[in-house]
Amino acid sequence: MKINVEQGFKTLVQEVENILLPVEGKVPEWLSGTLIRNGPAKFEVGKEKYNHLFDGLAMLYKFSFRNGKISYTNRFLKGHTFKSIIETGRIVYPEFATIPKSSLPHRIFLNATRHFTDNASVNVTKIGESYIAMTETPPRVEFDPDSLRTLGRFHYGDQVTGHLTTAHPQFDYDKKELINYITRFSLTSSYNIYSIKQGTTKRQIISSIPVKQPAYMHSFGMTKNYVILTEFPLFIDPFRLLLTGSPFVDNLFWKPEYGTTFLIIDKNSGKLVGNFKCEPFFAFHHINCFEDMGNVIVDIVSYKDSSIIKSMYLNKLRQGDLLLPTPEIRRYYLELGSNKVTTHILSKDFIEFPRINYRKCNTKNYNYVYGVSAHKSNGFSNKLVKFCIKSKSYKYWYKENNFPGEPVFVPMPGACGEDEGVILSLVIDTINCNSYLLILDATSFSEIARAYLPFAIPFGSHSQYFE
């Protein structure tokens, strides 16, 4: 099926600062904070083109809520990568699926000396007092949360190094620390799990797990006591990557014969306490993980293989070839003390860009998942879904020719119920060629307001709400 969502993959050049958005409906007065979204927004440099949706140059978008009004700013993230293309008019740094047209020795030099791209287009978070944009290469870029102006490269207060990380850190509310991991390529590579105490910038290594073939993992799971690395059989060949100077994606190899492995790491001792093998699958996003009666439960958006990655080349998407592989929402039970894994399908509908009431429910048993899904199963996300795990029931928001992005749950102050709050999602309207911020009542999943933007915004990655 051909679907025209051209605007979603088109370069946006306009930057605007602090404009008041026209609103239809009523924005809740209690909503007082800022939604910051990240995503690729420039897909060519002169005559040179980026190949993949993950390659485009990062743009930050800010929606500020105050007294029922919404103000809006968007600005390119101007790190080294952005500055280099302005200075040279060419692509200088390798991205996920695009390499610069420079010589092979130059590309090998960039990799060997860890001159990674800082095109941090995937997500945002706060470390210490700094707001930072993140991608899967190690450099983080700091920005001003008011103006969205780029402040420069973010420096951790330590000497930890590595080659590949995630833009999906987790936050441990008990210990008040941020958790993430970084993979270091070597003859024996390693996954290095670290924590950063709230208010500080120093990474403390919790555990270093040696690994023969490092896997590509976009996110990881966490429970009260454990970090879960879900090691898909999509392995990186670091030496091939280094020596051929080829795009990162061309050095990922799907080896289903290895199956998928859940590595369970104790957050306190740093010990590997579980190593569970199951059938091969691939995922970008963990939904939530928690412990229950000696089991570690992992809810995850599971694809039967890694072909989803190759389905996101821009030339394919722009031709309207949007029949992407659809994932299953699976729950895995990992029985600690044994190697037993059982699994079942949690949701009959697919859900991507899964979000939960993170503050209240992350690492705990929970009931509601929000995400994007596909109307009439046409394979491309065009509706929002709220899934109730207990009752196996669904609520939807759908409007023809409108394409919503990741739904972010914001709890109402003093809320008791898990779903008391609102959902914020940026939607592309392909008929009117613009975007709007949609606000849904999270309980009823009905629309309560929308705020219109002056132009269409390309499909983005992830957003975070800051009080």
Cβ(235)–Cβ(181) below 8 Å: no
Cβ(419)–Cβ(429) below 8 Å: no
Backbone φ and ψ of 82, nearest 5°? -65, -45
Side chain identity at 112, as an amino acid letter? A
Q: How far apart are CA 345 and CA 185, in angstroms?
A: 35
Question: Does 163 show up as a binding residue in the annotation?
Answer: no
Side chain identity at 49, as an amino acid letter? K
Taking CA 222 as the corner, what is the angle to CA 188 and CA 255, rounded to the nearest 5 degrees?
45
Question: Does 344 show up as a binding residue in the annotation?
Answer: no
Q: How far apart are CA 395 and CA 371, in angstroms?
A: 11
Cβ(262)–Cβ(322) below 8 Å: no
Q: How far apart are CA 71 and CA 320, in angstroms?
A: 33
- For 98-124, give the secondary structure using H, E and C: CCCCCCHHHHHHHHHCCCCCCCCCCEE
Q: What is the CA radius of gyration of the chain?
A: 21
Question: Does 218 show up as a binding residue in the annotation?
Answer: yes
| Close Cβ partners of 103 (under 8 Å, ≥ 6 residues apart) | none
Strands 189-197 and 221-222: unpaired
Alpha carbon separation from 74 to 37, 39, 62, 148, 222 (Å, rounded)? 9, 11, 6, 7, 32
Q: How far apart are CA 258 and CA 233, in angstroms?
A: 6
Strands 295-302 and 286-292: antiparallel
Q: Which residues are annotated as a binding site?
A: 168, 218, 285, 462
Per the annotation, where are the binding residues for Fe cation?
Answer: 168, 218, 285, 462
